[in-house]
Amino acid sequence: MIVAVAVNRDGKVLGHELKDNGDKQTALDDSVMAVRIVDDTLFVNTTDLGKDIIGYAGAVPLEVAFVEGKVQSINPLPNDETPSFFDRAFEGLKDNWLGKKTEELAGKNVDVVSGATFTSNALIANMNLALEQASENSMSDAGSKFALADAKSIIGLIVVLMAAILPLFIKNKKYNIIQLILNVIVLGLWCGTFISYTLLVRLVANGANLWIYAIPLIMIVTAFIYPLFGRKQHYCTYVCPFGSLQQLAGKCSKKKIKLGQKTIKALDIFRQVLWAVLMICLWCGVFFEWMDYELFSAFIFQSAPVAVIVAAVAFTILSVFVPRPYCRFVCPTGTLMKTAELNK
């Protein structure tokens, strides 16, 4: 199902082009010169050089201008990143390079922008390529690699491995609460990592660097592979940051709103119908934008739409009285995961 969406939206699977993407793709592919000199300005275009460097939704090429060995300007070229996340990453990174000499920037480590890790890594890698070209160095693999994992990535990896493995063996309420808190703070608010339609389509369309995407790939295993071995809803219950937040909110009050069987059945039907309608939209090539409005993105609150943040807060408050309402009665990504459970 996701392959069909990736082909429909991006025209490719695991980075392999399967169809013409129209004017936008043509504009990206039309004989772009990697290096050109106009008057005293050297322009480096990374469209072709960095075509294998993938951000969150695809390549993020740059055109960088150098004057007398200094970075004069950095212009982003057309890309498929979510605009709010891309703008946050680009604006947060560009001052690390503007006005500085290539010699000063050689080998410099630049920190990724919180809440836009994948896009930041791709921008940094593209900029490194431009700097190499400007310095007239021979091309090396180092230019196309992403920034080395920082403390955030390592800690996030530890937390997601804990969530994926320890609940299989530890049945302790105190540990469970600690794990839920770690999921919310580390995986959600700090790393901004979770499974969503946007992530799944991006991975299927462009493929992934296994190290850079280690955290979401582990999440995907718990979501789609664990159910085949009898561990249904392991991701939703023990890993998902928003699911964890709802569970923590539910522990704030013992008083719950009792939903009747008819109400629960009606809400479950609503969830399935909603998911079917949204999937049809994706297959028909309309309203792809809904993927950016799943409530998980509220964790990246610096860039998330206000409507998403408001809805996430509302569902969190509701979960004090109704156990995990978004997971049970709305979540499109969660409904997709249930296909793996049906296979079991």
What residues make up the domain containing 91?
A: 32-144
As a 3-state breakdown, the chain gives helix, strand, coil percent values, each rounded to 5, of 60, 10, 35
Pairing of strands 35-38, 41-45: antiparallel
What is the total count of domains within the chain? 2
End-to-end alpha-carbon separation of the chain, Å? 18
Is 54 part of a structural domain of the chain? yes
Listed residues 127, 144, 161: the one ending a domain: 144
Q: Which two tokens stand for residue 83?
A: 């605009």
The mean pLDDT of the chain is 85
What is the rounded distance in angstroms from the CA atom of residue 235 to the CA atom of residue 337?
9
- DSSP-derived letter for residue 254 is S
Helix (H, G, I), strand (E, B) or coil at 186: helix
Listed residues 144, 168, 190: the one ending a domain: 144
Is 69 part of a structural domain of the chain? yes
Band (164; pLDDT cuts 50, 70, 90)? very high
Listed residues 120, 144, 168: the one ending a domain: 144
pLDDT in tens, 310-321: 999 999 999 999
| Pair 96, 179 in one domain | no
Region of 132 (left: φ > 0; alpha: ψ -120 to 50; beta: rest) is: alpha
Q: Which two tokens stand for residue 154?
A: 């390592």
pLDDT in tens, 214-233: 999 999 999 999 998 889 89
Q: Which helix (H) or strand (E) holds 296?
A: none
Task: Output the pLDDT for position 58.
Answer: 77
The structure tokens 């580390």 sit at: 186
Is 73 part of a structural domain of the chain? yes
Q: How far is CA 277 from CA 18, 160, 204, 263, 287, in A?
A: 25, 32, 21, 21, 11
Is 12 part of a structural domain of the chain? no
| Pair 115, 162 in one domain | no
| Pair 176, 275 in one domain | yes
Task: Output the pLDDT for position 179.
Answer: 97
pLDDT for residue 139 is more than 70: no
Is 6 part of a structural domain of the chain? no
Is 19 part of a structural domain of the chain? no
Helix (H, G, I), strand (E, B) or coil at 74: strand
Is 3 part of a structural domain of the chain? no
| Pair 113, 257 in one domain | no
The structure tokens 């408001």 sit at: 310
| Pair 205, 299 in one domain | yes
Q: Which two tokens stand for residue 105?
A: 């920037």
pLDDT in tens, 17-40: 776 555 444 444 444 567 778 777
Pairing of strands 70-76, 16-17: unpaired
Q: How far is CA 120 from CA 24, 100, 259, 272, 324, in A?
A: 22, 19, 44, 35, 32
Question: What single string gives the DSSP state of each residue in 80-119?
Answer: -S-HHHHHHHHHHHGGGTTT-BHHHHTT---PPPTT-HHH
| Pair 208, 230 in one domain | yes
Question: What single string gives the DSSP state of each residue in 44-64?
Answer: EE-TTTTTT-B-SSSB--EEE
